[in-house]
Amino acid sequence: MEKIQTKILYYTLPQLPDDRMSLYGYVRNANVTIYKDYHIIYQSPKIEEEDGWYFSDTGDYMISVPLKQTDGGKKIQVLVTAGKDEIKNIQFYYGTGDGFMRMILKDEMTRMTILTITIILGAISIMLSKTLDPGIEAVSGNLYFGKFCILFSLVKVNDFRMTTIMYDNAMGFLYLSVLQGILCVTPFIGFMQCNTNMKKKHATMLTRAMNLLFVGILCLHMIGVLSLDACMYASYMVFAGLCLVFAICLCLHYKHLNLGQKLKSLLTILGVLLFPHLDLFALLVLDIMLFLITVWMGNHKLKQAEEGELYKQLAYIDEMTGLHNRSAYEEYLMENSKTDAASYVLMMDLNNLKQCNDILGHRVGDDYIMKAAASIRKILEPHGCCYRIGGDEFVVLLLNISKDSFASMLEELQGEWDRIRQQEHRFVFQIAVGYAQASDKTTLQEMIEQADKMMYENKKELKQNAKLYDF
């Protein structure tokens, strides 16, 4: 808190054209007394003080003193008692209300533009976090950064003179600023967690502790121990302490963090610690840098996640045929013990593949496998999952297929195999087939066993030169 000071402003009014002119001023936490030719024409509510120190607040408010045409040429004295920071920025203006509003709007246009950009950056960060994969840690950082930007900007919006003029409750705005500052804690700690690899339980404990500390500060104000300005100063000190925790976490995990996390952490700590000494433009530059680093990290993590997903998919794909492999098949069996009532399991085995490899070579044997796989993909893959679980074995799981549709698909598959046999003269194209239909009492494993048994019966028939299984 600051020692109070007194300042006297002297004005000589020009000739006034009419009675529509007024004397306007904008002050914060100040006692103001206005004299006209040494007679008091305005006096603000007194601020309580003790030994020269403030113990209560008036908030931001606008002063408007009507002037008459006959006041032209008279002397105006404005006696202001306030803290050092408040008193140096106090100015008065005489003219019309519209002129006063235009003057304030012109003075604050740059600040309003900067805060608008900051709010837009925050909104874009939040939209990015909703659009991208929320499971990626850097994307969560986008969400927390966006919330922090918006809440921080709203705190600064309350400092605008234009805002105070539009809303009569000056003290209400000061309370709103403190509450918005408290709301900044959660996204700030979330942002810290994403950029220092802090454990979630530690972040939760820290958030609760900070919120309790802020509630304690407000309680001290409510019982009269702290002024509202002192509350805001104490809140800043809490954030400074939070930055110290941020810096400690950064040092502990420095070797395990990537470049983006290190840059964001350092910039955030610098921005919060220097907050009272930086103008809005400097803070905007910091926000833009943080935003760009956050987006870059999000894109980088997203690419890594996409690559990881691609590698995972490749691990479950049979390279030769493009069908799912045995690993994918076994994972599906682990995750699903039953199928829907209208589902089918279809098992297939290539006849004479070993003889084809031994006599005609593995290149011809590979052609045999790929032609069979291509026919299976063409006819059956649109209706279920197709797996190659061995050198010459295939499994197809068909979901939500009626009996008539299943019979139609088998006829279509038979026709495709007949066409291949007519074109292929190097080897005998024969595929043994077995299938099973799901029922309420049948598990997926039991269906597989039934289909496997039927397939081996069909395989014996084919080896005895029987025609392909009659469906």
Mean pLDDT lowest for which of 268-272, 302-306, 364-368, 459-463?
302-306
112 φ/ψ angles, rounded to the nearest 5 degrees: -65, -40
E strands, 301-455, in order = 344-350, 384-388, 393-398, 431-437
Q: Which CATH number fits domain 326-463: 3.30.70.270, 3.40.640.10, 3.40.50.300, 3.20.20.540?
A: 3.30.70.270
Residue % of the chain over a pLDDT of 90? 7
Q: What is the pLDDT of residue 454?
A: 92
Q: Is 424 exposed, middle or buried (0-12, 13-18, 19+ CB in 10 A)?
A: middle
- Read off the pLDDT of each residue in 107-132 and give the average, rounded to a whole number: 77
Q: Give dist(CA 390, CA 397) in Å, integer.
A: 16
Mean pLDDT lowest for which of 83-97, 270-284, 405-419?
270-284
Cβ neighbours around 400 below 10 Å, total: 12
Q: Give dist(CA 146, CA 156) in Å, integer.
A: 16
Q: What is the pLDDT of residue 213?
A: 86
The three-class DSSP label of residue 225 is coil
Question: Which amino acid, one-letter code, is at 75?
Answer: K
Q: What residues form DSSP beta bridges with 80? A: 7, 32
CATH class of 4-95: mainly beta
Cβ neighbours around 387 below 10 Å, total: 25
Model confidence band, residue 348 (pLDDT cutoffs 50, 70, 90): very high
Q: What is the pLDDT of residue 1?
A: 45
- Read off the pLDDT of each residue in 449-470 and give the average, rounded to a whole number: 75
Tracing tokens 């900051």 back to the chain, one arrives at: 118
Whether residue 302 is predicted with pLDDT greater than 70 in this model: the reply is no
- pLDDT tens-digit profile of 24-40? 887 766 788 888 888 88
- Domain ranges for the chain, please list them: 4-95, 104-307, 326-463
Q: What is the pLDDT of residue 64?
A: 83
- pLDDT tens-digit profile of 180-194? 777 888 888 887 787
Q: Residue 207: which H helix or E strand, with range?
A: helix 200-222
More confident residue, 28 or 212: 212
Q: Mention every residue, 6+ apart, whose C-beta is less than 8 A from residue 353.
A: 365, 368, 369, 391, 392
More confident residue, 406 or 82: 406
Q: What is the pLDDT of residue 244?
A: 78
Q: What is the pLDDT of residue 72?
A: 83
Mean pLDDT lowest for which of 289-303, 390-404, 424-438?
289-303
CB 99 within 8 A of CB 20: no
CA separation, residue 95 to residues 57, 65, 272 (Å): 29, 11, 40
Q: Give dist(CA 168, CA 32) in Å, integer.
A: 18
- Read off the pLDDT of each residue in 392-402 and give the average, rounded to a whole number: 88
Whether residue 367 is predicted with pLDDT greater than 50 in this model: the reply is yes
- Read off the pLDDT of each residue in 315-338 and give the average, rounded to a whole number: 82
The three-class DSSP label of residue 22 is strand
Structure tokens at 148: 């922090």
Q: Give dist(CA 131, CA 253) in Å, integer.
A: 29
Model confidence band, residue 148 (pLDDT cutoffs 50, 70, 90): confident
